[in-house]
């Protein structure tokens, strides 16, 4: 007789042997096993991290867009230096008009006694800086503000209005 106090499974061993014998011929259909494995994987598989949702080309595109945005913001926020002569800004935007430099910026900055002069200039004289000229308006004048050096040499011009 077996001692069941030393080995409690000894009393169950004949029952398990009968059960194994009965179940040996029974197999679960393949689809059941497949569905059980998929359900197990869905439930216990490690979750994807948020950064795994994008592929490498998508990350590259996102990085390029972010870089372009940063460059655009930096350009928009960067300080723009205004050239000044005698404390007055030389190149500035006033009601949409800007001075157009006729000489080098070094020459304009180094001029100590530059003066702002208003003048009516012939349209043909301003053709070299992009003022449109045709036979109908060739004799017209254009009102302009000019930055003139002490020796009378024009340094910069800003067009005010046409006459």
pLDDT, tens digit, for every residue of 81-102? 554 544 544 444 455 567 788 8
Range of the domain at 132: 84-162
Query: Looking at residue 60, what is its pLDDT?
Result: 92
Per the prediction, the chain carries an average pLDDT of: 79
Would you say how long the chain is, in residues? 163
Residue 135 maps to a domain: yes
Q: Which of 30-44, 55-69, 101-115 has the highest mean pLDDT?
A: 55-69
Residue 97 maps to a domain: yes
Q: Smallest Cα–Cα separation from 110: which of 82, 84, 80, 74?
A: 84
Residue 75 maps to a domain: no
Q: Smallest Cα–Cα separation from 133: which of 102, 141, 161?
A: 141
- Under a CB-based contact definition with an 8 Å cutoff, are residues 133 and 127 in contact? yes
Average pLDDT of the residues in 75-83: 69
Residue 55 maps to a domain: no
* Cβ neighbour number for residue 156 with a 10 Å cutoff: 22
Query: Looking at residue 2, what is its pLDDT?
Result: 53
- Under a CB-based contact definition with an 8 Å cutoff, are residues 123 and 138 in contact? yes
Rg from Cα positions in the chain? 44
Residue 62 maps to a domain: no
Specify the pTM.
0.38
Query: Looking at residue 82, what is its pLDDT?
Result: 52
**Structural domains of the chain, count:** 1
Query: Looking at residue 37, what is its pLDDT?
Result: 87
pLDDT, greater one: 92 or 107: 107
Residue 95 maps to a domain: yes
pLDDT, tens digit, for every residue of 126-144? 777 777 888 888 788 888 8
Residue 117 maps to a domain: yes
Residue 126 maps to a domain: yes
């Amino acid at each position: 007789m077996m001692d069941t106090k030393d080995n409690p499974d000894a009393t169950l061993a004949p029952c398990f042997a009968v059960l194994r014998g009965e179940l040996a011929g029974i197999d679960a259909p393949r689809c059941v096993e497949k569905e059980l494995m998929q359900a197990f994987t869905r439930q216990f598989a490690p979750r994807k991290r948020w950064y795994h949702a994008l592929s490498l080309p998508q990350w590259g595109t996102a990085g390029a867009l972010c870089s372009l945005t940063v460059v655009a913001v930096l350009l928009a926020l960067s300080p723009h230096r205004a050239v000044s002569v005698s404390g007055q800004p030389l190149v500035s935007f006033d009601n949409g008009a800007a001075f157009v430099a006729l000489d080098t910026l070094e020459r304009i900055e180094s001029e100590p006694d530059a003066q702002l002069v208003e003048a009516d200039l012939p349209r043909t004289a301003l053709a070299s800086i992009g003022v449109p000229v045709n036979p109908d308006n060739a004799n017209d004048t254009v009102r302009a503000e000019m930055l003139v050096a002490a020796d009378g040499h024009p340094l910069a011009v800003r067009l005010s209005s046409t006459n």
